[in-house]
Amino acid sequence: MIEKFKTLFIVKSSLICLYLALTLPMPFVSNEKLKMLSILAFFLGFFLIINITNDQVITCNNGISYKTSLISQILGKKGWKISWKEIVSIKSLPTSQGSKVYYFSTKNSQNFLIPQRIENFERFLLIISEKTDLQIKDISYLSPLWTYKLLTTLSILMVIGEIVAFRFQILSMLNL
């Protein structure tokens, strides 16, 4: 049975909101000569951030694959595919932020990063356990989900602040 696991919505939305918060003012504050270029760059960046957050994991009876978009591949993010029979262990490594990342280790000593920011993560781990008979109880999301929610909230507040500031700037220029 084929099952697909997309990137968590809260992860995608936090990255998109942060992008908007950081770049939305640029077309409005750029000088007239660069205004059209900044608008085009804004929309190109928006297209890219949406595109690169659309990775997915696909599991089936034969194996597991990590699919990236064409743009992600051009930017250097590669997908992979391995069969369940090739996986011999799961390794963990600490991150500099204090959490852990996990890798599938294969018979030919290759390591593949286990995606930890996908929807239905518990179901994904259950499939890994069923197909490999490996211990998965310590594997969790890479970062607590509240961090993405906080980033989304702060980014939205930044966008609102930018809109309010721009509105008052326009009103003051019109002497209203």
Identity of residue 36: M
pLDDT at 99: 82
Residue 7's DSSP bridge partners are: 118
Q: Tell me which residue of 121, 55, 141, 109 sits closest to 129, measured CA to CA.
A: 121
Distance CA 67, CA 98 (A): 27
Low-confidence ranges of the chain (pLDDT < 70): 170-176
The pTM assigned to this predicted structure is 0.82
pLDDT at 171: 62
Element spanning 60, H or E: none
Distance CA 74, CA 80 (A): 15
CB 13, CB 39: distance < 8 Å: no
Identity of residue 16: I
CB 55, CB 72: distance < 8 Å: yes
- 26's CB contacts (< 8 A; 6+ apart) are 38, 41, 42
Residue 87's DSSP bridge partners are: 106
Alpha helices (H) in the chain, listed in sequence order: 9-23, 26-29, 35-52, 70-74, 121-132, 145-173
First-last CA distance in the chain: 64
